[in-house]
Amino acid sequence: MDKIKVFIDASTFEAINYIDKKEMFQVCGILNPSQTVSEITISQKEAFETLREHLELTPIYVYDDVQKQYVLCGKLDCHDGVDAISGEVFSLKDLS
């Protein structure tokens, strides 16, 4: 299953972009089309803080064409998600 990909600025450690595969979530039944935005009770920041202890950062080398060498980067992964309505943490592995 695909995951949300987050691109983090190496100097500020801030998220600069993310790829959200909404089709994946609809197939898994996470997003219900009948849900409205007003039902969401947890902010993105609160969701991040809830998931912070579940994040896994793995060192990985990625080839940089400009530098013509491998550069040490980090692979950020998480096998859990946060329900936007209840704020409860759930395993993404259980959705497959």
Per-residue pLDDT of the chain (96 residues; tens, 9 = 90+): 456 777 788 888 788 777 666 655 554 555 555 555 557 888 889 999 999 999 999 999 999 999 999 999 999 999 999 988 888 999 988 776
What residues form DSSP beta bridges with 39? none
As for how many domains the chain has, the answer is 1
C-alpha closest to that of 35 among 1, 84, 89: 84
Q: Tell me, what DSSP letter sits at residue 63?
A: E
**Range of 39's domain?**
5-95
